[in-house]
Structure 1
Amino acid sequence: MSKFTYMFITCTFLFIIIMSCYGCKQVEYGIDSKCCPMCSPGYFVHRHCTEYTVTTCLPCPSSTFIGEPSGLEKCRSCTTCDTNLGLRIQKNCTSVSDTTCDPLEGNFCSRFSPPSCSLAQKHTQCEPGQYIKQNGTASTDTVCTDCVGDTYSDGSFSTCRSHTQCKLMRKGGTSSSDAECEDVVTIIAIILSLLLLLTMMLIFFWCWEKRNIPVMYINSISVRIGHRCWFQDFPWIAADEQEVHMQGSRLIPLKTMTSDIVKESEIKESVGIMSKFTYMFVTCTFLFIIIMSCYGCKQAEYGIDSECCPMCSPGYFVHRHCTEYTSTTCLPCPSSTFIGEPSGLEKCRSCTTCDTNLGLRIQKNCTSVSDTTCDPLEGNFCSRFSPPSCSLAQKHTQCEPGQYIKQNGTASTDTVCTDCVGDTYSDGSFSTCRSHTQCKLMRKGGTSSSDAECEDVVTIIVIILSLLLVVTMMLIFFWCWQKRNIPVSAAELQELNV
């Protein structure tokens, strides 16, 4: 009997220990040594359960939430997306989920506190002499790289550009600026104009020096050696002793005749020089006309009806072209139109519309000097980029069960999904594949898309021990029942009394 009593006490003690170690179920919470049912997400505990009543739950007030079943007596406050921290609201707070914050446009997330960003910084601005190797996204900063060799960038280029190759250099290029070239056509036109002017001046001075040549010599091309001529109007100087010819009342001396022939030769030479200068003058004039006809308008001018008119400034269109006496008349672009550079356009361009059906939203509104800039809607990425903005966007790929998110989708890239392998799983929303739970007693094996399900070993042990205890107590009871009429001897009675 003492052995059975000892066994009963031991089993009862073990049962109490096991029951005290056995906690509440997964959907329960402990309070005052009791296990009460948890409240659903979006609800808080208003009154704990009792022996006769279940937990009383109430909905979370505005701007508060609880995202999972719990025994909390107060809902959590919603996060505020502070613009001073470079944040904006991606998804508003609800009773079952907190606010999700995203970086403001032109910022990237520098501190991520799942499930949203908690601090953002502005994208780095590339310096002159650097190009944008990789544009900044919502999760990464801009990557800048130095230009090398005969290239340059002002800090806004996506690649370094080669320096312009000049025929005549005004200023050499650097890593941050292009080379500056002289306008060769203008220089040639100026030089030829100066040469033409110089030629005309030489011809003028030559004619001035030869202004006293008798006209008869120029016209008397028929005069030649041996030809006998009579010049009535020439007062010849003293006659030679040797006469060569006599006509009328006057003699023509040989010396005088020789002098006439020499003068005729000089005049012919002068006439040849005169014809060369005339040919040069005509040629230079012709070349000057050709060059000036090829020479177009300046960089800040546009051509119209053989005229070069000043361009209108960005944000303005041509209302009336220039004339010989008036400049170009410009007017501002109407609403929803723009012109982004100096031009001679007679009509402004229409602003782009960011169509939500194409997955787009406005990043920057249209102005008179710049077009609308479109960005993908939240949860979309740009699939067609038409500088300076996106023209078509698509939704991010949703990873399937059995895949994990290798790389989150951004405004410029799609989500990258990868299959789970080996003893791992993912429901499609995990950033890494998780290992299957190692069970002491398996209820259901894990797959690539779900975890293993384990039996509750503690519950099973408690049940078994409870059954063993009940059986033991029943055996003790029946044993005592059978032995209730056993006579007790005087010696045993005396031993018990002792």
Structure 2
Amino acid sequence: MKAVFILCSLVTLFYLVSCCEQNYYDKDGECCKKCGPGKRMLVDDNCDDPRCQDCQDGEYQSGYTSETRCERQPSCDPNLHFKPQPNPIKTDLIKCECQDGYYCTQDDDCNTCRKHTVCTPGQKVVKKGTSKSDTLCEACKNGTFSSQELAETCQEWITCQYGYDKNAPGSSTSDRICLDGTPAYRVVIWVMVVFIIILGAVALFIIIKCKMCAKLQKQTEKITCKHIRILREDTEDIERAVQPINQQQPEEDLDDSTPVSPTPSNITENGYPVQQEHGKESISSHPESNSYA
């Protein structure tokens, strides 16, 4: 009998436990109803019809519960490079996601966002970064290069063709540089050709300059001769205009007579020399005769 009682007790307890595992909970040996997802229990005074309340913003409750508090949602701060959560749900735990160019340091609980690694020149991107993994870079192999950041491939060095020499070897960040391998005598010929062209240009410039100077000198001489001719014609016109005026003026009487020395013939009885008028012939003086009519 005792064994049967123990067995029945175990079956009853198992039934009660299995009954309370889902939507009910055990309270003083009685299965009481829980609050649904997204809610919390205010007071567990009513076992069959408990009073429940919705979780507040920023909180969640993922399943049936008899707890009086909801769980807090994680804070996805955009200032910490997280994507904003416009409409957070209250029935499940949300996971923050990092912005583009960043990734989480933990897969299960994204607490920190780190910036993706930037593949530098001389490297190539093997695997692009995601919101949960970093970018994977690889160095370019010998004979290849990349000159930009985040290059997806490494380019091979250029091959110098026949007649070209390597001026600079290639590296992991720059290509090989090839120059024309022209012989030295060709270089000399090209230098001489350029020199002759420059010399011819200088000579042509001098010839043109001399022709311009000669033309300018002729024009100057022509202008000078024209001015002299005009000046000469003006002088002749002035002389012709002045000549009639000179002809109209009376000529002054010039006294070409020489002074006469006193002689007995040109002295009066009183001893004074005889005075003669200008322009008249000299008159010989005669002694006055006393004639009485």
TM-score, L = length of structure 1: 0.34
- Following superposition of structure 1 onto structure 2, how do residues 190-339 of structure 1 map, counting pairs within 5 Å? 280=1, 284-285=4-5, 287-294=7-14, 295-296=16-17, 297-323=20-46, 326-339=48-61
Deviation at 1:317, TM superposition (A): 0.4
CA distance in 2, matches of 1:473, 1:364: 77
Q: Indicate yes or no: 2:192 matched with 1:468.
A: yes
- Following superposition of structure 1 onto structure 2, how do residues 183-194 of structure 1 map, counting pairs within 5 Å? none
- Following superposition of structure 1 onto structure 2, how do residues 131-146 of structure 1 map, counting pairs within 5 Å? none
Aligned partner of 1:404 in structure 2 is: 124
Q: Of 147, 152, 158, which aligns to 1:437? A: 158
Contact 1:302 1:308 in 2 (8 A): yes
Q: Which has the larger radius of gyration?
A: 2
Deviation at 1:330, TM superposition (A): 0.7
Contact 1:382 1:390 in 2 (8 A): yes
Aligned partner of 1:452 in structure 2 is: 176
Contact 2:55 2:90 in 1 (8 A): yes
Deviation at 1:312, TM superposition (A): 1.0
- Taking a change above 3 Å as real, the CA distance of residues 285 and 446 of structure 1, as seen in their structure-2 partners, is closer
Contact 1:359 1:395 in 2 (8 A): no
Contact 2:121 2:151 in 1 (8 A): no
Contact 1:404 1:419 in 2 (8 A): yes
Q: Secondary structure at the match of 1:317?
A: strand
Contact 1:338 1:349 in 2 (8 A): yes
Q: Percent identity?
A: 27
Q: Which amino acid aligns with 1:312?
A: C
Contact 1:362 1:373 in 2 (8 A): no
CA distance in 1, matches of 2:94, 2:127: 30
Deviation at 1:401, TM superposition (A): 3.2
CA distance in 1, matches of 2:66, 2:158: 72
Deviation at 1:391, TM superposition (A): 3.4
Contact 1:352 1:372 in 2 (8 A): yes
Contact 2:81 2:102 in 1 (8 A): yes
Q: Secondary structure at the match of 1:385?
A: coil
Contact 1:425 1:433 in 2 (8 A): yes
Q: Which amino acid aligns with 1:373?
A: K
- Taking a change above 3 Å as real, the CA distance of residues 338 and 464 of structure 1, as seen in their structure-2 partners, is farther
- Taking a change above 3 Å as real, the CA distance of residues 322 and 298 of structure 1, as seen in their structure-2 partners, is farther
CA distance in 2, matches of 1:357, 1:473: 69
Deviation at 1:413, TM superposition (A): 2.5
Aligned partner of 1:342 in structure 2 is: 64
- Following superposition of structure 1 onto structure 2, how do residues 68-107 of structure 1 map, counting pairs within 5 Å? none
Deviation at 1:360, TM superposition (A): 2.7
- Taking a change above 3 Å as real, the CA distance of residues 406 and 308 of structure 1, as seen in their structure-2 partners, is same
Q: Of 368, 371, 380, which aligns to 2:102? A: 380
CA distance in 2, matches of 1:416, 1:475: 63
Q: Which amino acid aligns with 1:413?
A: S
* Count of aligned pairs: 192
Q: Of 73, 97, 100, which aligns to 1:351? A: 73
Deviation at 1:416, TM superposition (A): 1.6
CA distance in 1, matches of 2:189, 2:4: 122
CA distance in 2, matches of 1:316, 1:464: 95
Structure 1: which 5+ residue stretches go unaligned?
Answer: 1-279, 478-498
CA distance in 2, matches of 1:412, 1:465: 66
CA distance in 1, matches of 2:200, 2:56: 103
Q: Which amino acid aligns with 2:114?
A: Q
Q: Which amino acid aligns with 1:379?
A: G
Deviation at 1:314, TM superposition (A): 0.9
Contact 1:444 1:453 in 2 (8 A): yes
Deviation at 1:471, TM superposition (A): 4.6
Aligned partner of 1:395 in structure 2 is: 115
Q: Which amino acid aligns with 1:398?
A: V
Contact 1:314 1:340 in 2 (8 A): yes
CA distance in 1, matches of 2:107, 2:197: 81
- Taking a change above 3 Å as real, the CA distance of residues 349 and 442 of structure 1, as seen in their structure-2 partners, is same
Deviation at 1:417, TM superposition (A): 1.3
CA distance in 2, matches of 1:337, 1:456: 74
Deviation at 1:374, TM superposition (A): 1.4
Map Cα deviations across residues 328-374 of structure 1 (whole Å, 9 max, x no partner): 11111112111112222210111111245654323674222123331
Q: Secondary structure at the match of 2:41?
A: strand
Q: Secondary structure at the match of 1:361?
A: coil
- Taking a change above 3 Å as real, the CA distance of residues 365 and 352 of structure 1, as seen in their structure-2 partners, is farther
Contact 1:364 1:372 in 2 (8 A): no
- Taking a change above 3 Å as real, the CA distance of residues 463 and 430 of structure 1, as seen in their structure-2 partners, is farther
CA distance in 2, matches of 1:309, 1:336: 28
Contact 1:353 1:372 in 2 (8 A): no
CA distance in 1, matches of 2:26, 2:175: 74
Q: Which amino acid aligns with 2:157?
A: H
Map Cα deviations across residues 426-480 of structure 1 (whole Å, 9 max, x no partner): 234321111223342444222112223444889xxx9876533245569999xxx
